[in-house]
């Protein structure tokens, strides 16, 4: 009889664990992604072969809903664009984000097409497999 009283608690715990804010990009529409991504971010991790993300530690990146992205470091500010679209070029990832930003070599490292590895309410994880780069943005 005691085992039956534990069953509802196990079912509730299972539902809570499976309903986290992690978003499956393969079922997320472009318009849903466009509504989740905008916001201000810090780079939490950047790997481009050497794994050094210190170049971004003083930057804030604001992804705006109008398709602009602004990288700010102190008094310096660089404006570019971003957009998300469906891709058919990769067997694993079906969404990609294109970032175009210029100004210095630091921000230009982010300027190309990235596959969307994962998006949540607070993270944006982008990967570029051909050049072994990955960037993890955390909302602030």
pTM given for the model: 0.77
Do 138 and 123 touch, CB atoms closer than 8 A? Answer: yes
Note down pLDDT in tens along the chain; length 140 residues.
455 555 454 444 444 444 444 445 556 788 888 899 999 999 988 886 555 678 898 999 999 999 999 999 999 999 999 999 998 778 888 899 999 999 998 899 899 899 999 988 899 999 987 777 899 999 99
Assess contact for 112 and 133: CB atoms under 8 A: no
Taking a C-beta distance cutoff of 8 angstroms, is the pair 138, 41 a contact?
yes
């Amino acid at each position: 009889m005691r085992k039956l009283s534990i069953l509802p608690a196990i079912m509730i715990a299972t539902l809570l664990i499976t309903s986290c804010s992690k978003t499956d990009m393969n079922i997320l529409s472009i318009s849903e992604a466009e509504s989740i991504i905008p916001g201000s971010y810090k780079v939490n991790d950047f790997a481009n072969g050497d794994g050094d993300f210190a170049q971004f530690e003083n930057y804030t990146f604001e992804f705006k809903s109008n398709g602009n992205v602004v990288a700010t470091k102190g008094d310096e500010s660089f404006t570019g664009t971003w957009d998300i679209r469906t891709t058919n070029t990769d067997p694993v990832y079906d969404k990609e984000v294109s970032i175009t930003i210029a100004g210095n070599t630091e921000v230009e490292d982010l300027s190309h097409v990235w596959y969307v590895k994962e998006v949540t309410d607070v993270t944006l994880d982008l990967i570029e497999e051909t050049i072994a780069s990955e960037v993890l943005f955390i909302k602030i």
